[in-house]
Amino acid sequence: MIAVYIFICVLFTFFTYGYIDTNLHLSQSTFFLRLQQPLEALVFQMRPLATLIFFMALSSLFVLYEWFLKNSEKLFNLKKLFLFISGIALIFLFSFPAFSYDIFNYITTAKVTFFHKENPYLVMPVEIANEPYLAFTRAANKVALYGPVWILLTAIPHYLGAGDIWQTIIAFKFLNFFTYLLLSYLIYQMTKSVRSVLFFALNPLVLIEILISSHNDSTMMAFLLLGMLLWFSKGLGKKLIGLSAIFASMLIKGATIVVAPLLFMKNISKEKFLFYTYLLLAFVFFIAAPLREELYPWYAVWLVTIAACLDRKKYSLLIGFTMVLSFALELRHIPYMYMGYYEGVGPLARTLLTMIPIAIYGGYIGYKKVIKKS
């Protein structure tokens, strides 16, 4: 099964190269172009087939995810676990960020800051009209969308990229590779459970949104989790470092600011802190964020991370819901893949694809309860 899983991950990595923007030229190598062109044809000219491949890969990853969770204790000790997830992360490190343009926004904003030496909170990428990265950057007509800690962190991949776009993409993805492993480690520290680490690390939504599409939510959550871990440690020094890490998390993406009032609650236990964090982040995810923009799948990384730290038996319903939610949210990629545009029936299709699995799960839970009562 492990071999099958790795095989699917490798195939998925190849598949992502079909989604390279037509204005983005990663390499002039004929070998690369020969490999990439059929994939591009598959993705852009045979959309139904590409969508089917995505759906099958996604479903397989979810089925195997469930299998890994069931057999986690039998399959892995701590060393094997980290070796396995590092291997998976390494495969996806070389995937193309296929399902979102956000990474290009990070890259271009970093270039505005560290190459053009402009304040990204005042100067939009589009204002540097001759910037070549504009050809494949979306939302270039906005000033920096993220906090100063994130902007500072992007200096590392920006300079590692050395002006080469492919090298820069890999460097940005490496930052996520690192935060993914850090999160897995922190979850282990929090729970001492192999299963909890797998719940996070092999969740297909995490694999797709963090390791493939490289959203910065993993960095925000890594700082939050590190902060929480230290906040509940003994010693003032550790608590202060923990507080700083939580503050840094807020200055990455802002969503974790909802956790702030929990820091003022006296004698709150770690378990309650985690549960309330889940509720508050779920509120931002389901209510506040969609009111402003849309229900983005990668925001669920917040919930998956926290759910991984919760007690499996006590919060089984919430954990089950998070799993179903992550599957439902990944289905939101399907309408665009199939149609090639976001509008039209796209919003309705995305809503239905999200709601149906959740409704089925709700029905199943209700049915189980009725059976139990009778």
Partner 1 sequence: MDTREERKRDMKQIFVYVCIVTYLAFNIGHLSLIHAEYVLPYPSYMPGNKIYSVSRIMDKLKNYWYWGTIAQIKYHLSLSDKYLVEAKTLFEYKQYLLATDALSRSDAALADVSKLLEKGNKENKNMVQYEELIHNAMLVHLEKLEGMKELLPSEFTWTPEKKDATNLPIEQLLDRSILIRKNILIELQGRKQLFTNNIYL
Residues engaged in binding partner 1 (CB under 8 A): 116-119, 122-124, 127-130, 141, 143, 257-258, 261, 265, 268, 272, 276, 279-280, 283-284, 287-289, 291-292
Nearer to partner 1, 57 or 152 (CB): 152
C-alpha gyration radius of the chain: 21
- Measured from the CB atom, the residue of 40 and 118 that comes closer to partner 1 is 118
Secondary structure letter of residue 295 according to DSSP: -
CA distance 71 to 211: 24
Nearest distance, CB of residue 33 and partner 1, angstroms:
29
Minimum CB distance to partner 1 smaller for 224 or for 284:
284
Closest distance between partner 1 and the C-beta of residue 114, in Å?
A: 11
**Cβ closer to partner 1: 267 or 374?**
267
Place of tokens 């923990």: 242
What's the burial of 117, exposed, middle or buried (CB within 10 Å: 0-12/13-18/19+)?
Answer: exposed
Residues 263, 264, 266, 268, CA torsion sign? negative
Give the Cα separation of 359 and 189 in Å (integer). 34
> Smallest gap, in angstroms, from Cβ of residue 125 to partner 1?
11
Q: How far is the CB of 5 from partner 1 (least distance, A)?
A: 38
Residue 341 beta carbon to partner 1: minimum distance, rounded to whole angstroms: 24
HSE-up of residue 274 (Cα within 13 Å, Cβ side): 25
* Min dist. Cβ of residue 258 to partner 1 (A): 6
Which is nearer to partner 1, 116 or 138 (by Cβ)? Answer: 116
Q: Which positions ≥6 away from 299 have C-beta within 8 Å?
A: 217, 255, 284, 285, 289
Give, in order, the Cα–Cα distances in Å from 45 to each of 37, 38, 339: 11, 10, 11
In this complex, which beta carbon is closest to partner 1, that of residue 146 or of residue 188? 146
